[in-house]
Amino acid sequence: MIFFFDYSIEDFPNFKHCPFIYFPLYQEWYLEHGNGWNNFKGLTWKATHNKELDKIYNFFGFFKGWNTRRKIEYISDAKKEIIHIFTPRTDIVQKGTGLISEMRSSADIIVGVHIRRGDYEVWNNGKFYYSLSQYYTFMQKIQALYSTQKVAFFISSNEKVQLDYFAKCNCFLQEKSESPILDLYTLSLCDRIIGPFSTFSRWASFYGEKPLCFLKDIDQNFTEESFSPIVDYFHFANGKEIQNW
């Protein structure tokens, strides 16, 4: 039983209608008309960021999903069901696969680039906040790594990005993206993924079983061994552990 969620639930019909998951506060008419989602989002924040309410939740046996991310013992067995539950809406899948298909007509390898700025300017003292010129440098290094292949880049960002900025790279993005889930799903279809430490690119790698490389330093260089798929929140398939930032 899940009490608090946000509007992205509408992007995952299998999750929304899962027979063993119940959303007692989901009222379709109220949430989809007027200012319903905004009001509910405000309620969610207040209810999940309150130390006094946490005591009540604990007393009745409720818990926050974020606090269970270290519980990994069932993930491999449940992976197939997890993928099914979190398959996006049909239109999102079609748009994602459509763009990747278009990119493959002119590329041998597609690299997803997760550009996360905004809140990362202050998070962790800006440790993983990179300028667009630095992202461009990362992309050019990737091109050098795969110099014998035609490389195309899918750009996923939490801000509007002009592709002209990356003039010497073959870049694409989702036009008129109504939902970040479209970017997330498209990222999961790429052959390789790069980006700063983030649950966003981590999920794309886990869902699509695609090799990911975190951007740790502006002077970072890449080899094929730099990439590995995510198998759970804190581990790559190659055994490397991810620090809990």
Distance from C-alpha of 116 to C-alpha of 200, rounded to nearest angstrom: 9
Residue 153's pLDDT is 98
What are the extents of the domains in the chain?
7-68, 90-236
The domain made up of 90-236 is a member of CATH 3.30.1330.60:
no
Distance from C-alpha of 201 to C-alpha of 181, rounded to nearest angstrom: 12
pLDDT digits (tens, 9 = 90+) for 2-34: 988 888 999 999 999 999 999 998 887 778 776
The pTM of this model reads: 0.91
Evaluate if residue 51 carries a pLDDT over 90: no
**Which residues make Cβ contacts (< 8 Å) with residue 196, sequence separation at least 6?**
114, 116, 120, 128, 129, 130, 214, 215
Most confident of 29-43, 113-127, 175-189, 217-231: 217-231
Question: What's the full length of the chain, in residues?
Answer: 245
Q: What are phi and psi of 233, to 5 degrees?
A: -55, -30
- Written as one letter, the residue type at 111 is V
pLDDT digits (tens, 9 = 90+) for 146-204: 999 999 999 999 888 889 899 899 999 998 766 899 999 999 999 999 999 999 999 99
Residue range 131-156: average pLDDT?
96
Residue range 80-97: average pLDDT?
96
